[in-house]
Amino acid sequence: MGVRVRRQHLGNLLLLVVSTVIAVGIAEALFRWHTSRTFDRDLPEWAVKLVVVRGAQVFAFKPHVSGEGVGSVDMKRTFPYRTNAHGLRDRDRPAKASGTTRVLVVGDSYTWGYAIAEEESFPQVAERMFAERGRADIEVINGGVPDYNSRQERALLEKLMPIYQPDVVVLAYVVNDAEPTTSMPRSPDEVYRHSRSWFLTELAEQLNRRLFRRRLLPSAKDNFSSVYLDGFEEDSVKWRDSREAIREMRDLAAAAGSSFTVLMMPDFTQPFDDGYGLRKIHDAVARWGRELNIPVFDLLELFRGEDHSAFIVPWDGHPNPEAHRRIAAFLVEKLGEEAGLSPSAP
Protein backbone atom coordinates (compact mmCIF):
# COMPACT_ATOMS: atom_id res chain seq x y z
CA MET A 1 0.00 0.00 0.00
CA GLY A 2 2.80 2.39 0.90
CA VAL A 3 4.49 2.01 -2.48
CA ARG A 4 1.16 2.43 -4.30
CA VAL A 5 0.37 5.60 -2.33
CA ARG A 6 3.79 7.06 -3.01
CA ARG A 7 3.43 6.35 -6.71
CA GLN A 8 0.02 7.98 -6.68
CA HIS A 9 1.42 11.05 -4.96
CA LEU A 10 4.30 11.24 -7.42
CA GLY A 11 1.85 10.90 -10.29
CA ASN A 12 -0.31 13.70 -8.88
CA LEU A 13 2.77 15.88 -8.39
CA LEU A 14 3.93 15.25 -11.94
CA LEU A 15 0.46 16.05 -13.24
CA LEU A 16 0.45 19.27 -11.24
CA VAL A 17 3.87 20.26 -12.59
CA VAL A 18 2.91 19.49 -16.18
CA SER A 19 -0.41 21.31 -15.82
CA THR A 20 1.32 24.33 -14.31
CA VAL A 21 3.89 24.44 -17.10
CA ILE A 22 1.15 24.21 -19.73
CA ALA A 23 -0.93 26.88 -17.97
CA VAL A 24 2.04 29.25 -17.70
CA GLY A 25 2.89 28.57 -21.35
CA ILE A 26 -0.64 29.42 -22.43
CA ALA A 27 -0.62 32.52 -20.22
CA GLU A 28 2.71 33.56 -21.72
CA ALA A 29 1.44 33.16 -25.28
CA LEU A 30 -1.77 35.07 -24.54
CA PHE A 31 0.08 37.86 -22.70
CA ARG A 32 2.59 38.30 -25.53
CA TRP A 33 -0.22 38.36 -28.08
CA HIS A 34 -2.23 40.89 -26.07
CA THR A 35 0.67 43.26 -25.31
CA SER A 36 1.89 43.17 -28.92
CA ARG A 37 -1.64 43.77 -30.23
CA THR A 38 -2.35 46.69 -27.90
CA PHE A 39 1.07 48.35 -28.27
CA ASP A 40 0.48 51.98 -29.24
CA ARG A 41 2.34 52.68 -32.47
CA ASP A 42 1.19 56.28 -32.90
CA LEU A 43 4.09 58.71 -33.12
CA PRO A 44 4.24 62.51 -32.93
CA GLU A 45 4.12 64.34 -36.26
CA TRP A 46 7.81 65.23 -36.02
CA ALA A 47 9.02 61.64 -35.61
CA VAL A 48 9.81 59.02 -38.19
CA LYS A 49 8.81 55.40 -37.57
CA LEU A 50 10.36 53.35 -34.81
CA VAL A 51 13.16 51.03 -35.87
CA VAL A 52 15.22 48.50 -33.96
CA VAL A 53 18.99 48.72 -34.22
CA ARG A 54 20.85 45.88 -32.48
CA GLY A 55 18.09 45.52 -29.94
CA ALA A 56 17.61 49.25 -29.27
CA GLN A 57 14.30 50.83 -30.26
CA VAL A 58 15.21 54.07 -32.01
CA PHE A 59 13.12 57.08 -33.05
CA ALA A 60 14.31 60.20 -34.82
CA PHE A 61 13.20 63.58 -36.08
CA LYS A 62 12.08 63.75 -39.69
CA PRO A 63 14.54 65.49 -42.02
CA HIS A 64 13.97 69.14 -42.87
CA VAL A 65 11.11 69.80 -40.48
CA SER A 66 10.50 72.78 -38.25
CA GLY A 67 8.27 73.24 -35.27
CA GLU A 68 7.79 74.56 -31.76
CA GLY A 69 8.99 72.74 -28.66
CA VAL A 70 7.18 73.30 -25.37
CA GLY A 71 8.61 73.93 -21.92
CA SER A 72 8.74 71.15 -19.36
CA VAL A 73 7.65 73.43 -16.49
CA ASP A 74 5.46 75.96 -18.31
CA MET A 75 4.00 74.29 -21.39
CA LYS A 76 2.64 77.61 -22.62
CA ARG A 77 6.21 78.69 -23.34
CA THR A 78 7.66 77.47 -26.62
CA PHE A 79 10.87 77.64 -28.63
CA PRO A 80 11.53 77.04 -32.35
CA TYR A 81 13.54 74.20 -33.84
CA ARG A 82 14.38 72.82 -37.27
CA THR A 83 16.25 69.79 -38.55
CA ASN A 84 18.74 69.11 -41.30
CA ALA A 85 18.73 66.37 -43.94
CA HIS A 86 19.57 63.75 -41.31
CA GLY A 87 17.05 64.86 -38.69
CA LEU A 88 19.63 66.66 -36.55
CA ARG A 89 19.32 70.12 -35.04
CA ASP A 90 22.24 71.27 -37.11
CA ARG A 91 22.87 72.91 -40.44
CA ASP A 92 23.12 70.84 -43.61
CA ARG A 93 26.74 70.05 -44.25
CA PRO A 94 28.44 69.09 -47.53
CA ALA A 95 30.71 66.09 -47.81
CA LYS A 96 33.71 66.38 -45.57
CA ALA A 97 36.33 68.55 -47.25
CA SER A 98 40.03 67.80 -47.27
CA GLY A 99 41.75 69.48 -44.34
CA THR A 100 38.54 69.70 -42.30
CA THR A 101 38.42 68.27 -38.79
CA ARG A 102 35.01 67.14 -37.59
CA VAL A 103 33.81 66.75 -34.03
CA LEU A 104 30.52 64.85 -33.58
CA VAL A 105 28.75 65.41 -30.26
CA VAL A 106 26.22 62.71 -29.41
CA GLY A 107 23.74 63.18 -26.58
CA ASP A 108 20.17 63.91 -25.58
CA SER A 109 18.16 67.09 -24.93
CA TYR A 110 21.10 68.76 -23.16
CA THR A 111 23.15 68.49 -26.37
CA TRP A 112 20.20 69.22 -28.67
CA GLY A 113 19.60 72.47 -26.81
CA TYR A 114 16.13 72.03 -25.39
CA ALA A 115 14.31 75.31 -24.60
CA ILE A 116 16.96 77.49 -26.23
CA ALA A 117 17.75 78.58 -29.79
CA GLU A 118 19.72 76.33 -32.11
CA GLU A 119 22.67 78.71 -32.27
CA GLU A 120 22.86 78.74 -28.45
CA SER A 121 23.45 74.98 -28.12
CA PHE A 122 26.97 74.14 -26.96
CA PRO A 123 28.07 72.22 -30.11
CA GLN A 124 27.18 75.24 -32.28
CA VAL A 125 28.77 77.62 -29.78
CA ALA A 126 31.95 75.52 -29.72
CA GLU A 127 32.17 75.62 -33.52
CA ARG A 128 31.94 79.43 -33.45
CA MET A 129 34.57 79.60 -30.71
CA PHE A 130 36.96 77.57 -32.84
CA ALA A 131 36.29 79.84 -35.85
CA GLU A 132 36.79 83.00 -33.77
CA ARG A 133 40.15 81.64 -32.62
CA GLY A 134 41.40 80.92 -36.11
CA ARG A 135 40.22 77.34 -36.56
CA ALA A 136 37.43 77.63 -39.12
CA ASP A 137 38.58 74.21 -40.35
CA ILE A 138 37.04 72.56 -37.26
CA GLU A 139 33.36 71.66 -37.50
CA VAL A 140 31.33 70.66 -34.43
CA ILE A 141 28.18 68.74 -35.31
CA ASN A 142 25.18 68.58 -32.98
CA GLY A 143 24.15 64.91 -32.80
CA GLY A 144 21.83 65.28 -29.82
CA VAL A 145 18.26 63.92 -29.80
CA PRO A 146 15.88 64.70 -26.91
CA ASP A 147 15.00 61.74 -24.67
CA TYR A 148 17.70 59.47 -26.06
CA ASN A 149 19.44 57.07 -23.70
CA SER A 150 22.85 55.43 -24.09
CA ARG A 151 21.58 52.56 -26.23
CA GLN A 152 19.85 54.92 -28.65
CA GLU A 153 22.88 57.18 -28.79
CA ARG A 154 24.99 54.17 -29.69
CA ALA A 155 22.57 53.30 -32.52
CA LEU A 156 22.61 56.89 -33.79
CA LEU A 157 26.41 57.00 -33.72
CA GLU A 158 26.59 53.90 -35.90
CA LYS A 159 24.32 55.65 -38.42
CA LEU A 160 26.15 58.99 -38.37
CA MET A 161 29.77 57.78 -38.47
CA PRO A 162 29.87 57.07 -42.24
CA ILE A 163 27.80 60.19 -43.00
CA TYR A 164 29.90 62.78 -41.18
CA GLN A 165 33.22 60.92 -40.85
CA PRO A 166 34.16 62.57 -37.55
CA ASP A 167 37.72 62.73 -36.31
CA VAL A 168 36.53 63.17 -32.74
CA VAL A 169 33.40 61.74 -31.08
CA VAL A 170 32.14 63.30 -27.85
CA LEU A 171 29.40 61.70 -25.77
CA ALA A 172 27.53 64.12 -23.50
CA TYR A 173 26.34 61.78 -20.74
CA VAL A 174 23.36 62.95 -18.66
CA VAL A 175 22.26 61.45 -15.34
CA ASN A 176 19.12 59.84 -16.84
CA ASP A 177 20.91 58.16 -19.75
CA ALA A 178 20.43 54.70 -18.24
CA GLU A 179 16.64 55.17 -18.18
CA PRO A 180 14.27 54.18 -21.00
CA THR A 181 12.71 56.82 -23.20
CA THR A 182 9.47 58.42 -22.03
CA SER A 183 8.35 60.44 -25.06
CA MET A 184 7.75 57.51 -27.39
CA PRO A 185 5.63 54.36 -27.20
CA ARG A 186 7.88 51.41 -26.38
CA SER A 187 7.34 48.01 -27.91
CA PRO A 188 6.97 44.96 -25.63
CA ASP A 189 10.17 43.54 -27.15
CA GLU A 190 11.97 46.58 -25.76
CA VAL A 191 10.23 46.66 -22.38
CA TYR A 192 10.76 42.94 -21.69
CA ARG A 193 14.07 42.50 -23.50
CA HIS A 194 15.81 41.15 -20.38
CA SER A 195 12.94 38.79 -19.52
CA ARG A 196 12.61 35.16 -20.54
CA SER A 197 8.94 35.27 -19.56
CA TRP A 198 6.96 38.45 -20.17
CA PHE A 199 4.02 37.06 -18.21
CA LEU A 200 5.97 36.10 -15.08
CA THR A 201 7.89 39.37 -15.19
CA GLU A 202 4.67 41.37 -15.32
CA LEU A 203 3.17 39.20 -12.57
CA ALA A 204 6.15 40.00 -10.34
CA GLU A 205 5.78 43.70 -11.17
CA GLN A 206 2.12 43.75 -10.22
CA LEU A 207 2.66 41.83 -6.99
CA ASN A 208 5.49 44.18 -5.99
CA ARG A 209 3.40 47.25 -6.73
CA ARG A 210 -0.03 46.23 -5.50
CA LEU A 211 0.56 43.59 -2.82
CA PHE A 212 4.02 44.08 -1.33
CA ARG A 213 4.29 47.84 -2.00
CA ARG A 214 8.01 47.39 -2.56
CA ARG A 215 10.42 45.53 -4.82
CA LEU A 216 10.34 42.13 -3.15
CA LEU A 217 10.22 39.85 -6.21
CA PRO A 218 12.98 40.19 -8.84
CA SER A 219 11.85 41.75 -12.10
CA ALA A 220 13.76 42.50 -15.29
CA LYS A 221 11.08 44.74 -16.77
CA ASP A 222 12.65 47.93 -18.13
CA ASN A 223 10.54 50.52 -16.32
CA PHE A 224 11.29 54.22 -16.26
CA SER A 225 12.15 55.56 -12.81
CA SER A 226 12.25 59.24 -11.94
CA VAL A 227 14.71 58.25 -9.20
CA TYR A 228 17.73 57.93 -11.48
CA LEU A 229 19.83 56.35 -8.73
CA ASP A 230 17.64 53.22 -8.99
CA GLY A 231 19.25 52.44 -12.34
CA PHE A 232 22.66 52.40 -10.68
CA GLU A 233 21.87 49.90 -7.95
CA GLU A 234 24.20 46.89 -8.07
CA ASP A 235 21.54 44.48 -9.39
CA SER A 236 20.13 46.86 -12.02
CA VAL A 237 20.37 45.98 -15.71
CA LYS A 238 20.11 49.66 -16.63
CA TRP A 239 23.65 50.74 -15.77
CA ARG A 240 25.00 47.56 -17.36
CA ASP A 241 23.21 48.39 -20.61
CA SER A 242 24.47 51.97 -20.44
CA ARG A 243 28.06 50.93 -19.83
CA GLU A 244 27.94 48.39 -22.66
CA ALA A 245 26.58 51.04 -25.04
CA ILE A 246 29.47 53.33 -24.14
CA ARG A 247 31.95 50.53 -24.75
CA GLU A 248 30.39 49.94 -28.17
CA MET A 249 30.55 53.66 -28.98
CA ARG A 250 34.23 53.66 -28.08
CA ASP A 251 34.77 50.71 -30.41
CA LEU A 252 32.80 52.31 -33.27
CA ALA A 253 34.95 55.43 -32.99
CA ALA A 254 38.18 53.43 -32.77
CA ALA A 255 37.28 51.36 -35.84
CA ALA A 256 36.95 54.60 -37.82
CA GLY A 257 40.19 56.02 -36.42
CA SER A 258 38.36 58.60 -34.29
CA SER A 259 39.01 59.53 -30.68
CA PHE A 260 36.22 59.13 -28.13
CA THR A 261 35.60 61.31 -25.07
CA VAL A 262 32.80 61.53 -22.49
CA LEU A 263 31.51 64.75 -20.93
CA MET A 264 29.62 63.95 -17.71
CA MET A 265 26.82 66.50 -17.42
CA PRO A 266 25.44 67.59 -14.04
CA ASP A 267 21.73 67.83 -13.30
CA PHE A 268 21.13 71.57 -13.53
CA THR A 269 18.01 71.37 -11.36
CA GLN A 270 20.13 70.43 -8.32
CA PRO A 271 22.48 72.60 -6.24
CA PHE A 272 26.14 72.45 -7.22
CA ASP A 273 27.37 71.81 -3.68
CA ASP A 274 27.35 69.05 -1.08
CA GLY A 275 23.56 68.86 -1.48
CA TYR A 276 23.95 67.48 -5.01
CA GLY A 277 22.27 64.08 -4.80
CA LEU A 278 23.45 62.26 -7.93
CA ARG A 279 27.16 61.99 -7.25
CA LYS A 280 26.87 58.18 -7.38
CA ILE A 281 26.11 58.35 -11.10
CA HIS A 282 29.06 60.65 -11.76
CA ASP A 283 31.34 58.26 -9.86
CA ALA A 284 30.01 55.28 -11.85
CA VAL A 285 30.67 56.94 -15.21
CA ALA A 286 34.16 57.97 -14.07
CA ARG A 287 34.80 54.34 -13.09
CA TRP A 288 33.62 53.14 -16.50
CA GLY A 289 36.06 55.56 -18.09
CA ARG A 290 38.94 54.03 -16.14
CA GLU A 291 37.79 50.49 -16.92
CA LEU A 292 37.26 51.19 -20.63
CA ASN A 293 40.24 53.53 -21.07
CA ILE A 294 38.03 56.46 -22.07
CA PRO A 295 38.67 60.09 -21.03
CA VAL A 296 35.78 61.27 -18.85
CA PHE A 297 35.45 64.92 -17.84
CA ASP A 298 32.98 65.70 -15.06
CA LEU A 299 31.36 69.09 -15.65
CA LEU A 300 29.95 69.16 -12.14
CA GLU A 301 33.38 70.44 -11.15
CA LEU A 302 33.04 73.23 -13.73
CA PHE A 303 29.96 74.59 -11.94
CA ARG A 304 30.73 73.55 -8.37
CA GLY A 305 29.94 76.21 -5.79
CA GLU A 306 27.85 78.32 -8.17
CA ASP A 307 24.11 79.00 -8.01
CA HIS A 308 22.53 76.34 -10.21
CA SER A 309 19.43 78.52 -10.77
CA ALA A 310 21.60 80.94 -12.75
CA PHE A 311 22.17 78.24 -15.37
CA ILE A 312 18.68 76.89 -16.08
CA VAL A 313 15.79 77.99 -18.25
CA PRO A 314 13.29 78.88 -15.51
CA TRP A 315 10.22 77.77 -17.45
CA ASP A 316 11.79 74.46 -18.40
CA GLY A 317 14.69 73.30 -16.22
CA HIS A 318 17.20 72.54 -18.99
CA PRO A 319 20.55 74.39 -19.11
CA ASN A 320 20.27 77.96 -20.40
CA PRO A 321 22.47 79.75 -22.98
CA GLU A 322 25.06 80.74 -20.37
CA ALA A 323 25.41 77.11 -19.24
CA HIS A 324 25.85 76.06 -22.87
CA ARG A 325 28.47 78.77 -23.39
CA ARG A 326 30.44 77.50 -20.40
CA ILE A 327 30.19 73.90 -21.61
CA ALA A 328 31.32 74.95 -25.10
CA ALA A 329 34.37 76.78 -23.73
CA PHE A 330 35.27 73.74 -21.66
CA LEU A 331 34.88 71.47 -24.70
CA VAL A 332 37.09 73.68 -26.86
CA GLU A 333 39.79 73.72 -24.18
CA LYS A 334 39.70 69.96 -23.57
CA LEU A 335 39.68 69.09 -27.26
CA GLY A 336 42.77 71.22 -27.59
CA GLU A 337 44.45 69.24 -24.81
CA GLU A 338 43.18 65.74 -25.60
CA ALA A 339 42.75 65.70 -29.37
CA GLY A 340 45.30 68.29 -30.40
CA LEU A 341 42.68 70.74 -31.72
CA SER A 342 44.41 73.81 -30.37
CA PRO A 343 42.39 76.97 -31.07
CA SER A 344 45.60 78.94 -31.57
CA ALA A 345 47.09 76.51 -34.08
CA PRO A 346 47.56 77.84 -37.61
Which residues, other chains included, contact 162 with Cβ-Cβ below 8 Å and sequence gap of 6+?
Answer: none
pLDDT at 55: 67
As a whole number of angstroms, the distance between CA 89 and CA 92 comes to: 9
pTM: 0.90
51-182+224-337 folds as: Rossmann fold (3.40.50)
Q: Above pLDDT 70, what percent of the chain? A: 93
| pLDDT above 60: residue 215 | yes
| pLDDT above 60: residue 112 | yes
- Express each pLDDT in 149-206 by its tens digit: 999 999 999 999 999 999 999 999 999 999 998 888 888 888 898 899 998 988 988 9
| Averaged pLDDT, 236-264 | 97
As a whole number of angstroms, the distance between CA 198 and CA 19 comes to: 19
Q: How far is CA 335 from CA 217, 338, 343, 344, in A?
A: 47, 5, 9, 12
pLDDT at 172: 98
Q: What is the CA radius of gyration of the chain?
A: 24
